[in-house]
């Protein structure tokens, strides 16, 4: 009965430490060679189950059932070895030589064991039970153990020798495979002399714990770090994109919307007109008086200040609407919301201020405004052209002495 305790403990430990691999599908992208590793863990658990059953049946000397479970025990043992070789080959960058050796060895040993067990039904060369129900190991049992022992040792030596020439992440994996091989080799060697102790289960338990700790958990940590780096890069990209977008959509001199921003918003409104999803907006068009004269007589720096002051004047009155610089001395405002309700008052106050500015020798800006009429205006341009015509009338008026 005490024989089964190790196997039961091993099953519980495997289920606990590998719960994410066994039951949580989201672990798929976090665990290397997921399918092979998952199959390997299930293979280990299956072996531990047969080991536990063997202990129970041996305790009560139920020979027919014990014989069947012993056959399953050896099949599970070699299945575990085969699945381990497949996991190592699938995950570890071990080079074609070791991969080929492990692949052939895993299949060959499994096939060899199946042949031996088939022969054992007729000639007890692997194991047998005497008349008292006592288990006896046959010669081929020691052959299969010896072959596994040699392969685990050779794999460990190879991985320890070659890990120094590999990147850090691969070194960690090779080191883990090497320790796994040493653990299994040590316990197999002890199993040779103590066939009735559950040493193979202990070896699998130690080895798989090493694999989980140094491979699976480290890979998750690497994945987490990679994800953090990706998020940082994405954030930086978004910031750069936002900066670039702001640069494209902002006029560098005045800080108002650029011509590109105006064109995009005008296109958006045009689409809304086609879809009949907009009912209220107005367009105000502005043009600076005497900018050419100022540039020619006082220089372009003073002209730039004149443009800036004009943009501030427009933005002061239409503070709830987007202001755009659409040309060298031209501005436009798409009037919506609160400004739309007060549009007539705002444009009158603006024109009054411009008249005061003209008297005081300050910035003079001609303006024109037109409101969208859903019944007749089929597109944005129609409204803009009406506002533009109004602006030119105002401009002529302001030029009169």
Band (60; pLDDT cuts 50, 70, 90): confident
What confidence score (pLDDT) does residue 365 get? 93
Find how far residue 46's CA is from the centre of its chain.
Answer: 34
How confident is the model at residue 111, as a pLDDT? 93
Cα-based torsion angle of the residue sequence 189, 192, 193, 194 in order, rounded to the nearest 10 degrees: 100
- The per-residue pLDDT for range 362-386, each reduced to its tens digit, is 899 999 999 999 988 989 999 999 9
The residue written with tokens 């020619």 in the block is: 296
pLDDT at 14: 82
Mean pLDDT confidence for 169-188:
76
Element (H, E) at 193: helix 168-193
| pLDDT (0 to 100) of residue 345 | 93
Which CATH class name applies to 259-399?
alpha beta
Burial bucket for residue 293 (CB in 10 Å: 0-12, 13-18, 19+): exposed
State yes or no: pLDDT of 248 exceeds 70: yes
Pick from 89-103, 109-123, 191-205, 239-253 the range whose average pLDDT is largest: 109-123
Residue 257 forms beta bridges with which residues? 250, 324
Confidence tier at 322 by pLDDT (50, 70, 90): very high
Nearest to 249 by CA among 240, 258, 241: 258
The 10s digit of each residue's pLDDT in 81-135 is 888 888 777 766 556 676 787 788 889 999 999 999 999 999 999 999 888 888 8
Average pLDDT over residues 202-207: 82
Using the predicted structure, report yes or no on whether residue 28 has a pLDDT greater than 70: no
CA–CA separation, 100 and 175 (whole Å): 20
| Lowest-pLDDT range of 71-75, 113-117, 193-197, 270-274 | 193-197
Strands 330-335 and 365-371 turn out to be: unpaired
Architecture per CATH, domain 2-231, reads as Up-down Bundle (1.20)
**Which helix H or strand E contains 324, and what residues bound it?**
strand 323-325
Q: What is the CA radius of gyration of the chain?
A: 42
Alpha helices in 332-379 (DSSP H): 337-341, 343-360
Least confident among 78-92, 304-318, 340-354, 359-373? 78-92
Selected residue with higher pLDDT from 49 and 164: 49
> What count of other Cβ atoms lies within 10 Å of the Cβ of residue 217?
15
> What b/e readout covers 196-216, taking b as 16+ CB neighbours within 10 angstroms?
eebbbbbbbbbbbbbbbebbb
Domain with CATH 3.30.70.270 in the chain: 259-399
Mean per-residue pLDDT over the chain, rounded: 83
Q: pLDDT-derived band of residue 218, with 50, 70 and 90 as boundaries?
A: low
* Residue intervals in the chain for CATH 1.20.1070: 2-231
Q: Residue 332: pLDDT band by 50, 70, 90 thresholds? A: very high
pLDDT at 90 (0 to 100): 74
pLDDT at 240: 57
pLDDT at position 26: 55
Residue 51, pLDDT above cutoff 80: yes
């Amino acid at each position: 009965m005490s024989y089964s305790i190790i196997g039961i403990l091993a099953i519980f430990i495997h289920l606990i430490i590998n719960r994410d691999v066994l039951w949580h599908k989201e672990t798929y992208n976090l665990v290397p060679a997921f399918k092979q590793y998952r199959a390997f863990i299930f293979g280990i658990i299956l072996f531990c189950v047969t080991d536990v059953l063997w202990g129970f049946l041996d305790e009560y000397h139920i020979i027919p059932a014990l014989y069947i479970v012993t056959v399953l025990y050896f099949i599970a043992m070699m299945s575990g070895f085969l699945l381990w070789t497949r996991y190592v080959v699938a995950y570890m960058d071990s080079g074609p030589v070791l991969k080929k050796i492990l692949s052939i060895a895993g299949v060959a040993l499994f096939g060899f064991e199946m042949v031996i067990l088939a022969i054992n039904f007729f000639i007890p060369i692997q194991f047998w039970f005497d008349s008292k129900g006592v288990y006896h190991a046959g010669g081929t049992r020691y052959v299969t153990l010896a072959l596994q022992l040699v392969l685990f040792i050779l794999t460990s030596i190879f991985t320890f020798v070659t890990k120094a020439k590999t990147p850090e992440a691969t070194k960690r994996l090779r080191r883990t495979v090497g320790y796994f091989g040493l653990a299994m080799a040590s316990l197999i060697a002890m199993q040779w002399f103590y066939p009735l102790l559950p040493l193979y289960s202990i070896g699998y338990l130690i080895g798989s714990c090493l694999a989980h700790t140094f491979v699976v958990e480290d890979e998750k940590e690497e994945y987490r770090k990679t994800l953090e780096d990706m998020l940082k890069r994405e954030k930086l990209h978004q910031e750069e994109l936002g900066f670039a977008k702001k640069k494209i959509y902002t006029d560098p001199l005045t800080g108002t919307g650029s011509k590109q921003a105006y064109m995009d918003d005008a296109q958006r409104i045009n689409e809304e007109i086609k879809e009949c999803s907009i009912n209220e907006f107005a367009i105000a068009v502005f043009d600076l008086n005497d900018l050419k004269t100022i540039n020619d007589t006082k220089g372009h720096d003073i002209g730039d200040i004149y443009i800036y002051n004009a943009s501030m004047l427009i933005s002061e009155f239409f503070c709830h609407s987007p202001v755009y610089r659409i040309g060298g001395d031209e501005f436009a405002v798409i009037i919506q919301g609160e400004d739309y309700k007060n549009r007539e008052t705002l444009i009158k106050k603006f024109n009054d201020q411009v008249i005061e500015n003209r008297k005081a020798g300050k910035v003079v800006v001609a303006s024109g405004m037109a409101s969208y009429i859903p019944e007749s205006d089929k597109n944005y341009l129609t409204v803009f052209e009406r506002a533009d015509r109004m602006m030119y009338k105002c401009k002529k008026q302001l030029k009169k002495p």
